Amino acid sequence: MNGMENKVALVTGAAGGIGEAVVRALAERGVAVALVDRNADRLEQLAKELRNEGGRAEAFPADVTDSADVEAVIDGVEQQLGPIDYLVNGAGVLRLGQARALTDQDWATTFAVNTTGVFFVSRAVVNRMVARGSRGAIVTVASNAAGTARVDMSAYSASKAAATMFTKCLGLEVSKFGIRCNVVAPGSTDTPMLTALWEDNSAAQASIEGVASAFRVGIPLGRIAQPAHIADAVLFLLSDQAAHITMHDLTVDGGAALGH
């Protein structure tokens, strides 16, 4: 028994690298998982895989930037799977570029998904938890870039910093209801979002060794994170092992931000 059996979790960005790892880890622990993402085909494929492995998982295609869509989907999740106990805000996008060269759309899209989406989904889930008087746990997947300046990542870093502080403020407000809100801040992780930026294998080594011209110190532990490393941190903060932890920001980056 792990204390998570028969709970219900909603994971946004479920079709992505970290989101999928979180979904699989939850399903392995007997959690019924609602998979939310815009990639409907991949969602359904993943849900079928998990069900074939004995898990309980359902696909709920949705756009986290659409408030009405979010409210409707969360109603559907609770009708089909039951009251939500855990929320993982994993949906995210990355638009690279010098701050002065970013387009209006780059900025708007980044904040719509990474920040406003966290607000829409968290608000919808927490309001339902409070209304029925149930405890719960929320984890927002942010980034170590939320607290460490990075070249070409101003929009992403700013959006993740905003999502981080929103999650902490929400956690302060709802702590009296027994709802915990925490943040996991990954560094470079072997996901499609990262590897799509690599031109060849040297890019991974550059991340590990550091890039002086970009003021990156590298990764002291000497490796790129795997999605499972991030999922482990997320599950810890959702679990009863973290029952007295809220408003915490757990960095999982192999030391790349030097402990910040």
Q: How far is Cα 105 from Cα 58, in angstroms, rounded to an integer?
A: 32
Q: How far is Cα 60 from Cα 218, in angstroms, rounded to an integer?
A: 38
Tell me the C-alpha to C-alpha distance, in Å, between residue 25 and each of 14, 28, 129, 204, 246: 12, 5, 23, 26, 21
Q: Annotated catalytic sites, by residue?
A: 156
Q: How far is Cα 44 from Cα 55, in angstroms, rounded to an integer?
A: 14
Q: How far is Cα 131 from Cα 171, in angstroms, rounded to an integer?
A: 16
**Beta sheet of 249-252, edge-to-edge order:** 56-61, 32-37, 8-12, 86-89, 136-141, 179-186, 249-252
Q: How far is CA 173 from the centre of its chain?
A: 21
